[in-house]
A and B are shown apart, each in its own frame.
Chain A
Amino acid sequence: MVNPVSRREFLNLLAATGGTAAALRAGTALNLLPGSASAASLDLLNLGSNQRKIAILGGGISGLTAAYELSKQGYDCTVLEASHRCGGRVMTLRHGDLIDEIGNRQYCEFDDEPHMYFNAGAARIPSTHRNLLAYCKELNVELEVFINENKTSFVQDDNMLGGRPIRNIDYTTNMRGFMAELMAKAMNSDELDAPFTESEAETLLSMIRSFGDLNENDLYSGSFRAGYAEGGFLKHGVQKDMIAFRDLLKSRLGRQMMGANEGDTGPILMQPVGGMDKIISGFLNHVGEQVKYRAMVTSVQVTDKGVNVAYDQDGVRHSLEVDYCFNCIPTHLMVGIDHNFPSDYVTAMKYVRRGEAYKAAFQAKRRFWEDLDIYGGISWSNTKSRQLWYPTHGIHKAKGIVLGAYDYGGGMYHTMMSQEERIEAHLADHEKIHPDFRELVEKPVTIGWHRMNHMLGCSARWSRNFGRGWTHEEETLYHTLQAPVNGRHYFIGDQISMHSAWQESAVMSAQWALSHMDAQVRAELA
């Protein structure tokens, strides 16, 4: 038997939770939490007949945000991009595309069709990423829903039920049932009066019952929520057997199953129709002419009056003198580029660690998941490949692209492998969920962000104090790097945010820098 939580502990816990919720409500009401910060609030001065030259180093989404906003106000912008493409970590792979991973160059061989693409970097947009969404609207980037959490997808763990994959809904229905039963037991006691009025207690108990679908005796005895073992339409549905609580506890994947509706990675998100890089194309429709490709920045010298930038293009070193410079080159690469930055700045640049994200994808010869009632969402497994994403887009078409691996924190495991080893690892892992996976897929692509040319990492890791938050010193280093050098050179990108690995952070960092520069320009012109 499971040891019940002591009643006293439970009540304390409830009271504490109530306290937090109350604080949050008050906070929002008083506007203490981030309020509306839509792109419209960026109020930059139009230069009119004045002239200012701008260099933007790196065509990442933050760099393009700067180019777009400044061009609108009459600034003369040049974007220097080392790669053959803009977008950086916003990278959508389609038929024929080059994957510029050093030591593992590949061309994407997916069929040439609009829905046959893979977002190898950024893939999901939460509804709260207002600034990014505002640009999508302004740039006419059509959005569609992205199904992130799907109850019919699978969860598989060698430690649970002999490795047999079960549906997300079986896992969560049973888990919630048992948890609710536990809570209900604690609630059905005289000590309850303490923190609650009688009607509050009643409401709470009814919530607990519906949370877990408990029976009239407050016991969990299985639920139709997990679907039917058989029937359900023309015949009465037959309830599925319960899965024992102990069995579910053998897996740690509950973290993914039960916490899936956390903020940035909630159950329903958004994606641009046709690929995440439609946002990049949206920007380039306006500022494309200003981009120099395969133009690798080699030197950044800040002077009293502006910034002198040098770059290599076609084997020739060029120079560019500008008034202001916005730089989204990853700090770990910038350390190796000539510069005259002050020493505290350099210390901060060297402090940032680089992340190790890794993704892989396959072309599926047919949409086999739809035969299994799966439309979008993620199957989770306790394997190194971790995730299997079924595309939300292209429903009922002949083929689709599945994500075959996504490891955000521990991507080096696959990155260190050869291409053949990576692919074999993913095939073997997903055979545990779909036994004929190997036969069902073809044309793999793998992306080790730690080795992507001109990137060499994703994403900036400021805190070395994992789980315990930033230290005071880290906050200081961060603010050092956010502040401009001599008022002329601004670092931008999600690396200059406290929430890296989101486009929203990259966009907001650019907007912060733009507003800061705008204040200087207004003063100069006054």
Chain B
Amino acid sequence: MLNFLPLDARHKLWRLATRILPVLAVCQLIPFTDAAEREPYDDRYCTTCHGTDGRGNEGIEAPRLAGMEDWYLRRQLENFRAGIRGYHPMDTAGIAMRPMAKLTDDSIADIVAWVGSWDYQPAEITIEGDVQSGELLYGVCATCHGMDAKGNAAMGAPALAGQNDWYLVTQLSNFVAGYRGRHEDDRYGQQMAAMVGTLTDESAIRDVVAYINSLETR
């Protein structure tokens, strides 16, 4: 092939080809745009809403992530992604979270590891209630979440102590009202929904949260 060309011309052609071919190969990988110049982005946007080091932001109703168990965080992210959580129109904060959990498995793993690196500080107390009556109500909760509310991985129950109290109130209200934990694929959520029967009104919810507030955080 190309034998009709003089040798040095053949060499020149070969050198040109070795330079062009890799470029052509790369061009095939990059979609037909100027993608290389485009502003990159990643999925580490959690702190925009969840606040500095994931300590929670009441202004956005975004709860604290710092200190959250890695298995619990992963499960909730997967639930949001799958529409198992944040499906009910009345769960406004859950609905807001759903599109933000459009994440790949890799991104979820990265976020879980990132959250694990954050400094943990217990949340500010904002809710008041009757601690004594809350203690009685907490009896049921203790079965899974532990007497000290520090959670129980074996039961799939996360720590409650140290979480933003306003978030606990919203979630308990959501479980009671059926805005969370009614999805057929939400095994743990269903379990939880079945346990909130004793929380008959808003003050019962506040009382039990006030009791959790009184417990030592980790």
Interface residues in chain A, defined as those with a beta carbon under 8 Å from any beta carbon in chain B? 82, 84-85, 96-98, 100, 102-105, 107, 109, 296, 298-299, 331-338, 349-350, 416, 450-451, 453-454, 456
Contacts and interface: CB of A to CB of B under 8 A. Distances in A.
A298 B53 contact: yes
Find the residue from A103, A338, A350 having the highest chain B CB count within 10 A: A103
Contacts of A335: 51, 57-60
Given A102-B100, A336-B52, A296 B47 contact: yes
B49 interface: yes
A453 B102 contact: no
B41 interface: yes
Contacts of A102: 45, 48, 99-100
A299 B55 CA distance: 12
Contacts of A450: 96
Nearest to A101: B99
Given A102-B45, A103-B99, A451-B99, A336 B57 contact: yes
Nearest to B57: A336
B106 interface: no
Interface in B45-86: 45, 47-53, 55-60, 62
Contacts of B98: 103
B38 interface: yes
B62 A336 contact: yes
Nearest to B92: A412
Nearest to B46: A102
Contact of A333 (B34, B56, B60): B60
Interface class of chain A by DSSP: loop
A299 B47 CA distance: 12
Contact of B38 (A98, A296, A299, A337): A98
Contact of A103 (B37, B38, B62, B102): B102
B128 to A, nearest CB: 15
Contact of B59 (A104, A333, A451): A333
Contacts of B45: 102, 453
B34 A96 contact: yes
B201 interface: no
5 contacts: A85-B39, A97-B39, A451-B99, A453-B45, A456-B49
Contacts of B37: 96
B41 A454 contact: no
B52 A298 contact: yes
B203 to A, nearest CB: 22
Given A103-B100, A333-B57, A416-B95, A98 B47 contact: no
Contacts of A109: 33
Contacts of B57: 332-333, 335-336
A350 B100 CA distance: 23
Given A298-B53, A336-B52, A337-B52, A107 B38 contact: yes
A456 to B, nearest CB: 6
A366 B60 CA distance: 42
Contact of A456 (B34, B39, B60, B101): B60
Contacts of A453: 45, 48
Contacts of B47: 296, 298, 336
**CB-based closest 8 A-B pairs:** A336-B57, A336-B51, A103-B99, A335-B59, A332-B59, A98-B39, A298-B52, A338-B52
B159 to A, nearest CB: 20
A454 B60 CA distance: 12
Interface in B8-37: 33-34, 37
A456 B53 contact: no
Interface of B: 33-34, 37-39, 41, 45, 47-53, 55-60, 62, 95-96, 98-102
A121 to B, nearest CB: 17
Contacts of A336: 47, 49-52, 55-60, 62
Contacts of A456: 48-49, 60
Contacts of A96: 33-34, 37-38
A350 B102 contact: no
Contacts of A296: 47
Nearest to A451: B99
Contacts of B48: 82, 102, 333, 453-454, 456
A349 B57 CA distance: 12
A453 B62 CA distance: 14
A97 B99 CA distance: 21
A332 B53 contact: no
A85 B39 CA distance: 10
A100 B41 CA distance: 8
Given A82-B48, A332-B57, A335-B57, 18 more contacts: A84-B39, A85-B39, A96-B33, A96-B37, A97-B39, A98-B38, A102-B45, A102-B48, A102-B99, A109-B33, A336-B49, A336-B52, A336-B55, A336-B59, A337-B52, A338-B52, A450-B96, A451-B100
A437 to B, nearest CB: 26
Contacts of B102: 103-104
Given A97-B39, A453-B45, A456-B60, A337 B51 contact: yes
A298 B52 CA distance: 5
B59 A334 contact: yes
Contacts of B33: 96, 107, 109
Contacts of B99: 102-104, 451
B93 to A, nearest CB: 12
A495 to B, nearest CB: 12
B139 to A, nearest CB: 33
Contacts of B49: 333, 336, 456
A499 B74 CA distance: 42
B143 to A, nearest CB: 33
Nearest to B126: A350
A331 B57 CA distance: 11
A456 B57 CA distance: 12
Contacts of A333: 48-49, 57, 59-60
Nearest to B37: A96
A375 to B, nearest CB: 32
A271 to B, nearest CB: 24
Contacts of B101: 103
